[in-house]
Amino acid sequence: MKKFEELPGTKIFEKTESSPVKDSPKIRRVIGIDPGLANTGFGIVDFFSGRYRMVSYGCITTKSSDSLSQRLLKIASSLQAVIDEFKPTEASMEELFFVKNITSGISVAEAKGVCTLIVAQNCIPLSEYKPNQIKQAVTGTTKSDKKLVEKYVKILLGLETEPKPDHAADALAGAITHLHYNLKIC
């Protein structure tokens, strides 16, 4: 899991009546999730004062030799640990689309269901986006390939290299897309 230390002024504050920062603009923290049974990518992105900032990203990997229930449990517990650590207030996920391989589509759907459940149990609003919406929001075109999406994620988040593995890059792209389509002036 790739993690960066918080920068001055980027701490998320709770607004309370006695809080000295109650009138301060809020940092939006989004978790993007790229669900899969073998690899579930996640990316945490902050948005503040018109800027994106990568907080963390990584991939939850399960072993094909483990039972389905063990794999789904690992995804659930690992995603819960990520949510507990980074406390996102919004979530995004790519909508599923089925291709020729129904078997792999079903396993992705099961992983997506577990991720959706964990997000819901934490009362985090979840938005879903079509693959073309993500490509459009991140690169400006629906015809981009994975490499171009990774390149633009690197540019938008000010990273030195493209985030790897591609599941994590897709999750970061999903978080950026959510912020793009739900832009609120902070």
Active site members = 34, 94, 167
Q: State the pairing for strand pair 51-61/2-3.
A: antiparallel
Q: Which residue has the tokens 């994620």?
A: 153
Q: ω before 8 within 30° of 0 (cis)? A: no
Q: State the pairing for strand pair 28-34/51-61.
A: unpaired
Transcribe 47-88 into DSSP letters. Answer: EETTEEEEEEEEEEE--TTS-HHHHHHHHHHHHHHHHHHH--
CA atoms within 13 A on the CB side of 177: 33
